[in-house]
Amino acid sequence: MRKTVYSFLILVIVGLTSFLVTAQDEKIRSAPMPSWLAESETYGFGISDLTEVEGTSWKFITHTPISEEFLRAARNQGVRAFPYVTFYQAWLLEDYQGSRLADHPDWILINRQGRWAPTGFWESEDAKNMYATCSNVKGYRESVLAYVEELMKRGAGGIFLDNVHPNRDCFGEKFGKHQHLFPTQIEAFADLMKEARAFIKSYDPEGALLINSADPASLPGEFWPHVDSEMSESYICTWVRDNRWGVWAKDWNGIDQRIPQGKQVCCLSYVGHTKNPVKDDLFFTYASARLMNFIWSAGNQPEVKGHPATRKLYSIRLGKPTTAEHVADEIHFRKFLNGVVAVNPTDQSKVFHLQGNIPTTFMRDLYEEKDIPIENQKADITLPAQSGRVWTFQPAKASGVEREKNVLIVRTRPGLGKTRFEVDGLPMTTHAGRWTTKYEKGERYGTLTARFDKPATHTIKVLDPERKELLVANSYEDAYALNETKMPGATETETRDPSRLGKLMDPADPVQFATGRPYRFVGWKGAVQSRQRTIKVLVEGEVTVIAEYQQK
């Protein structure tokens, strides 16, 4: 009886343990796409030098070295590295992904004739001596999963799994070459991806399985549950065509409508191979991908990687979409938290009428590299034929200054530093240079500026009709001491003789000593012509008046 009870308890414990392990496995396998992937906008492709990450908003890079040193260094820089892996093919007489295919001929896919099946790239990419592998064979599966586990131990963020397409039928069982675990190759490959993703999540809950079938819209439904992100390779631009390929509306736009919710797509555009200007292809492919909130890369052509437009697009953060994709007069556009993208896929130039929910008074046109003013939440922008554009919301640069559009500039001629005037009865003085490690005259020397909210007439009076000399401090500290108030940095706590703090220089040429010959006011030029010391001037927009002095 006691033995029976013990046996029963052991069975319960084993069963419960098995249930918990299975539940944990299912939790790992059904884990949602990690947040860093959902928030990504661009990524690095073919990155072996981590200095390329600097200045980008990348959260991950693919096709990377597999050394532990590199993978850990990438994490230390805040990016996840995804080495290249394939479950589709292998070299016959080379160590590849931790094994040598010649030592395991039973792993090779067998064709209808009972012969080894060459890779599908045997001719197109001259991949001679590379053979398709059978994901339905136990030994092969164990080998590639061990390789995935090793990469995760070294610090990988997951793997980039290439060549994910429905494998050809394998006739290995029919010809007695090997045994299959699953009824179909689709089931076998899907289960292998499931196991790989489970390995990834067990080492890094925020890890991911990135795959490439090249055509996300046709990916078998059995594969999607085990995928974090798919790839649209050769997106609009490919390395085997000198023009943009495919039909934009059919092949490239609207892919997001055929992707399961909670999954992402990485668009890989091989920019640099068409006859178009590189900048045009960069903006067209980027904007097209971002319309669908997909992640984008421009490929790995050296001249494209270093292109200023590429670096700019890699650096920006548009943030979350705030609208769906919209179409107006055949222009496709979408708004994001920090900007707008638009594509004109037609062969005619069109005017894009942007309006509503624009949080700033300017937008930055990243293609034209200029600011576009937003008036009454509207902007009309011309989009050339077959073009993409990106605008970022540009916050006001200084509080209040944008409102004060009426600017009065009083300029002395010749420029005289520290010359006193009154503006509407208030004392104002012209700029007279500053100190850093040396005295600098500066661009504003001999001028003063006043700003006003509204257009109005203002009174200006000359308080210094004669200027003989300008006291220039000996140093930054002495310049502080010249102030009447006690300020931090003054050389003395007691008032000092100004003559010991600086030198008397020519007010029109402060690097020369004063000559004793005075500069005398002779009249006004510019917006007002007068010989009187006091004038009135209407300030509407930017207005400049010039106080003329002559040296006697």
Give 156-172 pLDDT, tens digit per residue.
999 999 999 866 799 99
Strands (E), 72-174: 80-82, 84-86, 89-91, 95-96, 99-100, 130-132, 158-162
Note the pLDDT of residue 476. Answer: 82
> Rounded to 5 degrees, what are φ and ψ at 72?
-70, -40
Please name the helix (run of DSSP H) or strand (run of DSSP E) that holds residue 289, with its range, or none: helix 278-291
Of 507, 403, 530, 401, nearest to 459 (Cα)?
Answer: 530
Strands (E), 204-258: 208-211, 229-233
Look at phi and psi of residue 179 and say left if phi exceeds 0, alpha if psi is from -120 to 50, else beta: beta
Note the pLDDT of residue 7. Answer: 44
Distance in angstroms (rounded) separating the CA atoms of residues 489 and 440: 19
Of 426, 431, 366, nearest to 393 (Cα)?
Answer: 366
Look at phi and psi of residue 98 and say left if phi exceeds 0, alpha if psi is from -120 to 50, else beta: left
CA dihedral 231, 232, 238, 243 (to 10 degrees): -160
With contact defined as beta carbons under 8 Å apart, do 245 and 236 qualify?
yes
Query: Distances in Å between the alpha carbon of 113 and those of 102, 116, 118, 162, 167?
Result: 20, 9, 12, 27, 17
Please enumerate in sequence order all residues whose Cβ is within 8 A of that of 244, keeping only pairs 6 or more positions apart, or say none.
Answer: 236, 237, 274, 276, 281, 284, 386
Q: In angstroms, how far is CA 264 from the centroid of its own chain? A: 18
Please name the helix (run of DSSP H) or strand (run of DSSP E) that holds residue 22, with its range, or none: helix 2-29
Please name the helix (run of DSSP H) or strand (run of DSSP E) that holds residue 2, with its range, or none: helix 2-29
Distance in angstroms (rounded) separating the CA atoms of residues 246 and 236: 7
* Residues of the chain scoring pLDDT < 70: 1-31, 166-167, 397-403, 482-500
Rg of the Cα trace of the chain?
36
Q: Break the chain down into helix, strand, coil percent, rounded to 5.
A: 25, 30, 45
Distance in angstroms (rounded) separating the CA atoms of residues 110 and 370: 60
Distance in angstroms (rounded) separating the CA atoms of residues 550 and 114: 104
> Rounded to 5 degrees, what are φ and ψ at 543?
-130, 135
User: What is the pairing mode between strands 339-344 and 331-336?
Assistant: antiparallel
Of 24, 23, 31, nearest to 225 (Cα)?
Answer: 31
Please name the helix (run of DSSP H) or strand (run of DSSP E) that holds residue 264, with its range, or none: strand 264-268
With contact defined as beta carbons under 8 Å apart, do 149 and 201 qualify?
no
Note the pLDDT of residue 376. Answer: 87
State pTM to two decimals: 0.72
Q: Which amino acid is at 198?
A: A
Please name the helix (run of DSSP H) or strand (run of DSSP E) that holds residue 420, with its range, or none: strand 420-423
Of 315, 47, 293, 78, nearest to 206 (Cα)?
Answer: 78
First to last CA, the chain: 127
Q: Specify burial of residue 177 (Cβ count, 10 A radius: 0-12, 13-18, 19+).
A: buried
278-291 and 308-315 helices, crossing angle to 10°: 20
Cis peptide before 518 (omega within 30 of 0): no
> Rounded to 5 degrees, what are φ and ψ at 284?
-65, -45
Distance in angstroms (rounded) separating the CA atoms of residues 437 and 387: 50
Task: Tell me 311's DSSP state.
Answer: H
With contact defined as beta carbons under 8 Å apart, do 480 and 488 qualify?
yes
Task: Tell me 249's DSSP state.
Answer: I
